[in-house]
């Protein structure tokens, strides 16, 4: 097997040290050339996109499971590829790595083929990578849950009694999951001020983002059969950045007793490149100590988390460039992905290929590492300062919000690119 994760590996395609897409990454995404043509699957390398559908048609990939006529990359989503299971993903990634390293000179030495197979990233539109069947959003950051609880219930009762014993979650909606770059229309709804007797209707005045990451399920479990925590990794294909846009004023009035609804389901944005667990493997790290110890079905040890640096950037309409408003890390999450899968299925609930499972807002301990405006501006009481003199307690029309994240290697980064969205006025 080709050593795809070797830190010393280099591609014949030049890649900057701070690019998110060196040969050690090789994420999968769906793109369409701006010049035309059907959607298809590619991988990112430096500033380029490699058309895997073309290489597939030319029979570059060889695998026991790949029948000659089975096209997995000439598709508008990753489902067929994800269905092939982890040994195949690893083998195909290794073959792509070999081609891009030049160890196999086929691509390196054929300028005509290279002209057909590579696109500049600026020459393509990225599409949703996966047809998302179900969407679950966890609430796995202890710092975030504590902050929100302190605002709504006071410091003494910040964490609900169940929080340290199980990863809390709610079922979201898939129809409004959109790819990075999609404009976000300000939602309207019912809101009620604390001192007002009745609710009023209108555009949300407390529009917020939530910095999250999510993962896609590929291997299904049958209804009635839980996934053990130590097998969960074989069910997960890869990860993306997630912005769980939230209308706090709508959420606050509607959420009891059944939880989030219209304050959340108007839009959820994801980054277009799915970074595989294989590419993330060198960046595994221990998570926070769990005290009290979870029940046995949730017990997980060793390097159960990932060291992924995360940043939030905001650019208002009159700002010449984006300004970083938060910096945090995925490794701060209390509950890990494998515990989330184990808990989600412990009652026999079946996860399906294409399910998106998100982490919940990722906040660190320091106020500069909070993952939402609700926390950064502490419920409107501490407006954040922007370099042009403006302040924010909520997102304004015209604001462009960008989440980005990467794992830092020695001289290279395995990154997620970004997920961005601009707020447009209510309809
Ligand atoms: Mn959320």
Query: In this structure, are 295 and 417 located in the same domain?
Result: yes
Nearest to 31 by CA among 140, 120, 150, 134: 120
Whether 144 is a known active-site residue: answer: yes
188 lies in the same domain as 250: yes
180 near 404, Cβ under 8 Å?
A: no
DSSP strand pairing (124-127 vs 323-329):
unpaired
Same domain, 349 and 261: yes
pLDDT in tens, the chain (427 residues): 678 899 999 999 999 999 999 999 999 999 999 999 999 999 999 999 999 999 999 988 887 666 666 789 999 999 999 999 899 999 999 999 999 998 889 999 999 999 999 999 999 999 999 999 999 999 999 999 999 999 988 999 899 999 999 999 999 999 999 999 999 999 999 999 989 999 999 999 999 999 999 999 999 999 999 999 999 999 999 999 999 999 999 999 999 899 999 999 999 999 999 999 999 999 999 999 999 999 999 999 899 999 999 999 999 999 999 999 999 999 999 999 999 999 999 999 999 999 999 999 999 999 999 999 999 999 999 999 999 999 999 999 999 999 999 999 999 999 999 999 999 999 8
Please check whether residue 20 is in contact with residue 241, taking contact to mean a CB–CB distance below 8 angstroms. no
321 within domain boundaries:
yes
Q: Which two tokens stand for residue 231?
A: 């097998």
Q: Are 414 and 406 in contact (CB under 8 A)?
A: yes
| Cα–Cα dist 63/75, whole Å | 18
Given 20, 144, 343, 344, which residue is catalytic? 144
Q: How many angstroms separate the alpha carbon of residue 360 from the centre of ligand 1? A: 4
At 408, which CATH number? 3.90.850.10
Domain count, the chain: 2
Residue at which a domain ends, from 126, 149, 164:
126
Q: Is residue 90 part of a domain?
A: yes
Q: What per-residue confidence (pLDDT) applies to 4?
A: 86
Indicate if 298 and 379 belong to the same structural domain: yes
Sequence length of the chain is 427
Cβ neighbours of residue 405 closer than 8 Å, sequence gap 6 or more: 213, 241, 308, 309, 310, 311, 330, 415, 416
Pairwise CA distance, residues 186 & 246, whole Å: 10
Q: Is residue 259 domain-shared with residue 406, that is, in the same domain?
A: yes
Q: Assess if residue 20 is contained within a domain.
A: no
Domain final residue pick, 126, 148, 176:
126
Does residue 15 fall inside a structural domain? no
Whether 342 is covered by a domain: the verdict is yes
Secondary structure letter of residue 266 according to DSSP: T
Residue recorded with tokens 């667990």: 277
Residues 117 and 153 in one domain: no
Residues 206 and 276 both lie in one domain? yes
Contact 135/358 with Cβ under 8 angstroms? yes
Ligand 1 mean position, distance from CA 107 (Å): 43
| pLDDT (0 to 100) of residue 319 | 98
Q: How far is the CA of 207 from the centre of ligand 1 (A)?
A: 13
Whether residues 333 and 378 share a domain: the answer is: yes
- Rg value, the chain, Cα: 22
Residue 322 CB neighbour total at 10 angstroms: 16
d(CA 340, ligand 1 centre) in Å? 14
Are 265 and 356 within one domain? Answer: yes
**Judging by DSSP bridges, how do beta strands 413-424 and 184-185 pair with one another?**
parallel
**Which tokens belong to 108?**
């390196």
Q: Which domain, by its residues, includes 393?
A: 135-424
DSSP state of 274: B
What pLDDT was estimated at residue 311? Answer: 98
Q: Distance, CA 417 to ligand 1 centroid (Å)?
A: 20
Q: What angle do CA 268, 272, 273 make, to 5 degrees?
A: 135
Element (H, E) at 135: strand 135-138
**314 and 358 share one domain:** yes
Domain boundary among 126, 151, 169: 126
- In this structure, the number of other CB atoms found within 10 A of the CB of residue 292 comes to 7
98 and 155 share one domain:
no
The CA distance from 246 to 203, in Å, is 13
**Domain membership flag for residue 8:** no
Task: Decide if 42 is inside a domain.
Answer: yes
pLDDT at 64: 67
Cα dihedral angle (323, 283, 416, 420), rounded to 10 degrees?
Answer: -40
- 157 and 107: one domain? no
Buried b (16+ CB within 10 A) or exposed e, 29-55: bbbebeeeeebbbbbbbbbbbbbbbbb
Beta strands in 204-276 (DSSP E): 207-208, 211-217, 236-243, 246-247, 268-270, 275-276
- Residue 171 gets which letter from DSSP? E
CATH of the domain at 85: 2.30.30.230
What residues have their beta carbon closer than 5 A to ion ligand 1? Answer: 137, 210, 244
Pick from 189, 233, 195, 197: which is nearest to 215 by CA? Answer: 233
Within a domain: residue 374?
yes
Q: How far is the CA of 139 from the centre of ligand 1 (A)?
A: 7
């Amino acid at each position: 097997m080709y050593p795809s994760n070797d830190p010393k590996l280099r591609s014949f395609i030049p890649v900057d040290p701070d690019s998110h897409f060196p040969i050690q990454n090789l994420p999968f995404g769906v793109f369409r050339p701006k010049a035309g043509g059907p959607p298809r699957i590619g991988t990112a390398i430096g500033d380029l996109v490699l058309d895997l559908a073309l290489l597939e048609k030319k029979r570059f990939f060889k695998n026991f499971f790949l029948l000659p006529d089975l096209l997995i990359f000439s598709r508008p989503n990753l489902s067929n590829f994800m269905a092939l299971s982890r040994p195949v993903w690893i083998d195909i990634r290794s073959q792509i790595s070999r081609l891009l390293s030049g160890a196999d000179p086929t691509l390196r030495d054929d300028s005509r083929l290279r002209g057909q197979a590579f696109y500049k990233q600026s020459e393509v539109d990225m599409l949703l990578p996966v047809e998302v069947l179900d969407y679950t959003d966890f609430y796995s950051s202890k710092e975030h849950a504590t902050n929100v609880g302190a605002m709504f219930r006071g410091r003494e009762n910040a964490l609900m009694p169940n929080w340290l014993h199980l990863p809390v979650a709610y079922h979201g909606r898939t129809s409004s999951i959109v790819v990075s770059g999609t404009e976000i229309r300000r939602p309207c709804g019912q809101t009620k001020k604390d001192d007002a007797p009745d609710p009023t209707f209108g555009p949300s005045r407390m529009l917020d983002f939530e910095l999250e990451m999510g993962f896609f399920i590929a291997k299904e479990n049958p209804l009635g059969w839980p996934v053990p925590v130590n097998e969960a990794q074989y069910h997960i294909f890869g990860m993306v950045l997630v912005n769980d846009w939230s209308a706090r004023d709508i959420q606050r009035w509607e959420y009891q007793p059944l939880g989030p609804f219209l304050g959340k389901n108007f839009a959820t944005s994801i980054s277009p490149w799915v970074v595989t667990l294989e590419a993330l493997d060198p960046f595994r790290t221990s998570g926070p100590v769990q005290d009290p110890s979870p029940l046995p079905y949730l017990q997980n040890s060793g390097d159960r988390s990932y060291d992924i640096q995360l940043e939030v950037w905001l650019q208002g309409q009159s700002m010449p460039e984006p300004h970083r408003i938060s910096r945090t890390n995925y490794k701060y999450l209390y509950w890990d992905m494998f515990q989330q899968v184990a808990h989600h299925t412990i009652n026999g609930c079946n996860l399906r290929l294409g399910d998106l499972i998100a982490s919940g807002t990722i906040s660190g301990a320091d106020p500069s590492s909070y993952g939402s405006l609700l926390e950064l501006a502490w419920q409107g009481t501490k407006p954040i300062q922007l370099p042009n003199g403006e302040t924010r307690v909520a997102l304004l029309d015209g604001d462009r919000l960008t989440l980005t994240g990467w794992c830092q290697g020695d001289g290279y980064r395995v990154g997620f690119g970004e997920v961005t969205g601009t707020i447009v006025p209510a309809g």
